[in-house]
Amino acid sequence: MITRLMKEGDYESAMREYRSLVGKIGPTGGGNFFYGVVRPFVLDLQSSGRDKDARRALDLAGRVMRFESGSILAREFAELEAKLAGAQ
């Protein structure tokens, strides 16, 4: 659904769908959710020139998802945050 909305250029609806997914699946989704939803969505937003939305999407996931400091997932989040920061 999110991919289709993005391809159609309906970023507002894609963000609503993403927020809904993060709320429902994010707390327990772990790496599968990050690699399958969060990272692709954030990178798609960034490549579409929507850097502010990309940062918001990553921030939301970071607040909702559960992962331990120093874990692989924590490092992946940090790398993606750095990539977004470098795009500013």
Q: How many domains does the chain have?
A: 1
CA distances from 41 to 50, 68, 69 (A): 11, 22, 23
88 residues of the chain, pLDDT tens digit each? 999 999 999 999 999 999 999 999 999 999 999 999 999 999 999 999 999 999 999 999 999 998 888 999 999 999 999 999 986 5
Residue type, 12: E
50 contacts: CB under 8 Å, gap ≥ 6? 11
pTM of the model: 0.92
Q: Show the domain range for 68.
A: 2-86
